[in-house]
Amino acid sequence: MKKNIIFKIVMVLYLSIVGTVFTYAQDFASKLHTNANITSYSMPYRLFIPSEYNANTSYPLVLFLHGAGERGADNDAQLNANRGATLWAETTNQDSYPCFVVAPQCPTTGKWVNTDWSLGSYSITDIPMSTELKMVKDIIDTLETQYNIDASRLYITGLSMGGYGTWDFILRYPTMFKAAIPMCGAGDPSKASLISTLPLWVFHGNEDGAVPVSGSRDMVNAINALGFNNREPFYTEYNKDHVSAYETALAEPNLVSWLFTTNPIKLGLTDITDQPGLISAQGEDQPNLKDYAFDNATTTKWLDLAGANPTTRASWIQYQLSGSSYVAMQYTITSAEDFSDRDPKSWNLLGSNDGSAWTTLDTRTNEVFSGRSQKNSYTLTNSAAYTYYRLQINSVNEPATATGVQLAELEILGIPAVTSVNVLPTILNLEKKDIKQLYASVVPSNATSAVTWSSSNEAVATVSSTGLVTANAAGNATITVTAANNNKTAICDVTVFDNGITKFEAENATMNGIYIVRDQQNYSGDGFVANFGNVGNSVQFSITGATAGSQDITLRYATAEGGAIHLYVNGTMIRQVTLANTGSWGGWTDKVDNVTLNAGNNTIKYQKNAGDDGHFNIDYLSLKNIETGIIEVSNSDNESYISLFPNPLSTGSLSIKLPEDATRLSILDITGKTVYQEPVTKNEFLIDRSVFKSEGVYVINVVTTKNSLNKKVIVVK
């Protein structure tokens, strides 16, 4: 893991020295912005001015917000770490889309958004706009007074910490930018309606270990929940880690042209007949051709005289989509401006995917158009997608007098079909009682759809309505997620083991100098920990309910280089442990050690000491003989910082108040398994009793910026 990162940094530096990035960086003027009304420091920024700049022409402007690693005062790192700023200044792109590019640099002490970027979604109400972002806005406002910049064509993009900055900026100033590209960041989903019509192309990697992918998913889901938004593209999720994801996004071939040509989003259903397609009809009569049924003008019409059935004037007209299929949900017919006897009266709306096998979507008889150029609307109950839609007209209004059938417009309204559903992960290996969150996403991402979850074997594993899997007993089960739109499914194969072990996940342990990563496959729980490069870096497991005496402890780890680390039990150094090369950073292997434990609470720590070498990914520590009937977790000394009410909990919900610097709330059952966890975005929680599956003692664990606090709650059912 660590090694991968180092390699990547070396690659980026190499490219920036010999590649094109550096060349364009030279074309950016180095500037310093001061505004004592906002802050006392001056903010460095780089400014690219279009080479053919002419003050009589107005130009668009692209603002780029860099990531945390490029903070500082050198006014250089934000240009050279990646193509986030320089992409827009590259000659080929300037030739097509001349624009200003602004790349401010955040001081090392600041953030674009004052939230911990490992936490994902946050509240813009709770977290005021940062001084740094205020300075950025002031830079843009000032540049607009100095150059001929088109205020209606301001664009914003940013990655990582700058992805947060991008969401924050557009949520606080929803009409300032014409379009935005937030990469690998997070925002405030509760405010999604503010940007419901803003064109967005959102990027994230689902192996992101720095900013959780939930940050982008939460925003995308919140925007989709507002209704059919007709965005395409909208959200691109790669099977990649943090850095690879935004580097891949910056290399998307259509990214630049998309930004400069996208227009405000039209909310609501799409008229399928406005998408590219082929029109056909049973017949048509000059000059009232079939195309005039789809030209969005009620003054023009399609008329079928010769082709119509002479008795009923029955006929048909059809629209075949050239591109992907749509789910029709509504349609409208507008009567022509003359000859009411030619109006359609009875018809079927048909759908097909091959033009020969047709499904009836709707049947109408004795419909009346109350006037000329009258639009009637009809709702469908349909979730299937089709590429062919045909209006089969069975009779006209007055067949006795009508010389044909005609209509002014046919609209078929719907949403893009879900073409596939993805579930992550696709394979789950769980120990009995493990709980694991599954994630579903639909393709294309603007094809909004409700999803449902089911298990093939609930005795082995159950799944909640939100995709939370609980392992109940040894065996196999298949979890299926189904998208209502077009009925597409995806599966996750679950294998549950019952080895009588209790897992203590490294990502829930106390960390010193290390961090949570998710960029390898097949880890247990919510991730693993890495960065054991420095002396003193450690992971410490709090073991509850241990049996006294000699015990085997099993560390699950992976390393592509091998090395050694020191093992401590209850603060005492036991021995140096060799962790052999497992062949790759995701080559998970068990390392068994024998130690002596006390009854009840123990700490087991793996720490990098002088003389140890190598980097490791550590997934979890597992033990047998963990007592499940007793819990001996001590309340933390400063337990008063966690306030629980009522305790014991017999009815209602549990009220939890946390210290101001809390970052994560977890609830563990008597075996030490996490039954509930969420990042702390507020300091008061109401936990529903359903979280506590059975009667007994539970531990409320709170991670703060300084330490990890525990407090027990007794649940009486």
The answer to whether 525 contacts Ca ion (rule: CB under 5 A) is yes
What own/partner pairs with CB < 8 Å and gap ≥ 24 does 133-136 have?
133/165, 133/168, 133/169, 133/172, 134/38, 134/39, 135/33, 135/35, 135/38, 135/39, 135/43, 135/104, 136/43, 136/63, 136/65, 136/104, 136/112, 136/165, 136/169
How many CB atoms neighbour CB 313 within 10 A?
Answer: 26
Contact 42/135 with Cβ under 8 angstroms?
A: no
How many CB atoms neighbour CB 36 within 10 A?
Answer: 8
Pick the stretch among 5-13, 491-499, 527-535, 625-633 that binds Ca ion (CB under 5 A).
527-535
Residue 613: CB minimum distance to Ca ion, A: 24
**C-beta closer to Ca ion: residue 183 or 509:** 509
The answer to whether 273 contacts Ca ion (rule: CB under 5 A) is yes
Residues 526-544 as b/e (b if ≥16 CB within 10 A, e otherwise) read bbbbbbbbeeebbbbbbbb
Residue 677: CB minimum distance to Ca ion, A: 13
CA dist 273 and 262 (Å) reads: 21
**C-beta closer to Ca ion: residue 502 or 524:** 524
Pick the stretch among 110-118, 293-301, 347-355, 445-453 that binds Ca ion (CB under 5 A).
293-301
Of positions 201, 235, 620, 698, contacts Ca ion by CB under 5 A = 620
Pick the stretch among 285-293, 414-422, 468-476, 481-489 that binds Ca ion (CB under 5 A).
285-293
- The 478-507 site mask, x for binding Ca ion (CB under 5 A), equals ---------------------------x--
How many degrees, rounded to 5, is the angle at CA 99 between CA 133 and CA 153? 65
Residue 267: CB minimum distance to Ca ion, A: 17
Pick the stretch among 14-22, 484-492, 517-525, 688-696 that binds Ca ion (CB under 5 A).
517-525
Q: What is the footprint of Ca ion within residues 528-547 (CB under 5 A)?
A: 528
Q: What is the footprint of Ca ion within residues 643-662 (CB under 5 A)?
A: none
Residues touching Ca ion: how many (CB under 5 A)? 17
CA dist 112 and 138 (Å) reads: 14
Residue 519: CB minimum distance to Ca ion, A: 13
Residue 673: CB minimum distance to Ca ion, A: 12
**C-beta closer to Ca ion: residue 341 or 505:** 505
Residue 556: CB minimum distance to Ca ion, A: 8
Residue 440: CB minimum distance to Ca ion, A: 22
The answer to whether 296 contacts Ca ion (rule: CB under 5 A) is yes
Residue 241: CB minimum distance to Ca ion, A: 17
CA dist 82 and 202 (Å) reads: 18
Closest CA to 344 of 399, 297, 295: 399
**C-beta closer to Ca ion: residue 271 or 341:** 271
Pick the stretch among 20-28, 268-276, 355-363, 640-648 that binds Ca ion (CB under 5 A).
268-276
Pick the stretch among 21-29, 95-103, 252-260, 295-303 that binds Ca ion (CB under 5 A).
295-303
- Sequence-separated (6 or more) residues with CB below 8 Å from residue 7: none
The answer to whether 343 contacts Ca ion (rule: CB under 5 A) is no
Residues present in the chain in total: 717
Structure tokens at 509: 């342990």
Write out the DSSP string of 63-98: EEE--GGG-SSSS-HHHHSSSTTGGGGSHHHHHHS-
Closest CA to 294 of 278, 274, 310: 274
CA dist 200 and 219 (Å) reads: 11
**C-beta closer to Ca ion: residue 133 or 408:** 408
Q: Tell me whether strands 59-65 and 149-159 are parallel, antiparallel or unpaired.
A: parallel
- The 565-604 site mask, x for binding Ca ion (CB under 5 A), equals ----------------------------------------
The answer to whether 671 contacts Ca ion (rule: CB under 5 A) is no
CA dist 274 and 296 (Å) reads: 9
CA dist 605 and 539 (Å) reads: 6
- The 396-415 site mask, x for binding Ca ion (CB under 5 A), equals ------------xx-x----
Residue 83: CB minimum distance to Ca ion, A: 34
CA dist 471 and 469 (Å) reads: 7
**C-beta closer to Ca ion: residue 556 or 712:** 556
Contact 540/509 with Cβ under 8 angstroms?
A: yes
Of positions 241, 271, 284, 362, contacts Ca ion by CB under 5 A = 271
The answer to whether 639 contacts Ca ion (rule: CB under 5 A) is no
Of positions 300, 406, 538, 542, contacts Ca ion by CB under 5 A = 300
Write out the DSSP string of 111-124: -SSSS-TTS----T
197: left (phi over 0), alpha (psi -120 to 50) or beta: alpha
Pick the stretch among 516-524, 576-584, 667-675, 678-686 that binds Ca ion (CB under 5 A).
516-524
CA dist 484 and 143 (Å) reads: 49
Of positions 11, 151, 297, 535, contacts Ca ion by CB under 5 A = 297
The answer to whether 524 contacts Ca ion (rule: CB under 5 A) is yes
Cis peptide bond upstream of 50, omega within 30:
no
Residue 528: CB minimum distance to Ca ion, A: 5
Residue 291: CB minimum distance to Ca ion, A: 9
**C-beta closer to Ca ion: residue 297 or 630:** 297
**C-beta closer to Ca ion: residue 64 or 620:** 620
Cis peptide bond upstream of 233, omega within 30:
yes
Residue carrying the six token digits 């090694």: 3
Residues found near Ca ion in the complex (CB under 5 A)? 271, 273-274, 292, 295-297, 300, 408-409, 411, 505, 524-525, 528, 619-620
